[in-house]
Structures are given as C-alpha cells and as structure tokens.
Chain A
C-alpha cells in the first residue's frame, strides 16, 4: 500500500463546478499536510497547508480527518485556470521529518 494515495483522475468539470479531491495516508504519526498544484511541465507549488480545524483560501477549502487518515481539497466555482495536477503531501516524524508526495490528481476545467 502506498503511503499517500490519490485518485489519479482525470477529473473533467465545466467552469463554475465544484470539485473535490480526496487523499488517504497510511502513517498515523503524520504531522503536517499540504496541497500543491503542478501545472504541465512546471514545478509543484504550494497551494495551501491543511490544518486540523480546516482552512479556506478563497475558493479553496482543505479539510483533515485524522481519525480516518484522509485529507480533502474542495474547489468551488472552478475556473479554466484551475486546470492542473493537485498533489497531496504528508509530512511525518519518523527518524527526522519525512515528506511524502502523492502521485497527483489531474483536473481539467472546460469552458
């Protein structure tokens, strides 16, 4: 079983739609959680951190469920510019800090 698993997609949605991505992690000692965005042929960029209480940044909402070991990202009112791959990232404290990147979920937003 992979340490961090994501649905690879692709998710094809129309502009204005709401889309949700889920990610599960296997290490219960995981401490920090993040969502990154990666555009085609570019480097991953931090989108937002994920806090236990949930957090929102404009149209983006991230949630963490420690009991079930999953995190989610909700995008409301999708824009064409949201088309990208979204990476789930988990940081654990195992002999120092270890960061695991999920393989990513591709999103295509259509006009």
Chain B
C-alpha cells in the first residue's frame, strides 16, 4: 500500500561520524521535506525539495545535507558538523498541484549520538 517509509527506526552514532537517514515515498508526490523534532518541541524544517535534482534550505540546514536524485527518495545526511544531532527526524511528502493538499509523514527515525 502507498505511503512513506523511513529507515532505520532507531540509529545510534558516535560523535564525529556522518550518518544517512533514508526516506522513500510511493505516493507520486512532487515535494519532500525533512524536519527535526526535539523533546517537547515543535517541528523545525531542515531541507525541502519540490522537484528532482533541486532542493532548498529550511530554517536549520547547517550540519545537514540532502540529495534528490529520484522522485521517490530524499535521503538526509547528518554530518559531524551538526552540533546537537540527537533528535527525532521526520520525513514528509506532499503534492504541489492543489493548495488544499497537505503533508504526510513517515514514521520517523530517532537518532542518538553517543
């Protein structure tokens, strides 16, 4: 069935290591997004992409990188330059054809830096 998948569900990383979070969707959505959520806080936009091979920085892009080589996939790399990477990472996608279309989320990846 259609939806958004993220893997892994839990991820542990040592300080100084880069790590890549996977996000795949089969909803044929044009736009994809990455958010970060810290405990008790709201969502903060890291990066978004509205078309293949193009993406834009969100509010907190420093220390992160993305790619959009395929419409279905939007992986996020958390680099060693990200000072406080421990957080819940959520990927979302949406259609762009209608202003009433909204975003749908994957189940998230919980990243812990040891």
Contact = CB atoms under 8 A, between A and B. Distances in A.
A interface secondary structure, majority: strand
Nearest to B88: A41
Given A32-B99, A43-B90, A89-B102, A103 B107 contact: no
Interface in A65-111: 87, 89, 91, 93, 96-97, 99, 101-104
B99 A97 contact: yes
Interface in B44-86: 50
A27 interface: no
A43 B103 CA distance: 12
Given A42-B107, A43-B90, A103-B42, A93 B102 contact: no
Interface of B: 35, 41-43, 50, 88, 90, 94, 96, 99-100, 102-108, 110
Interface of A: 31-32, 34, 41-46, 49, 87, 89, 91, 93, 96-97, 99, 101-104
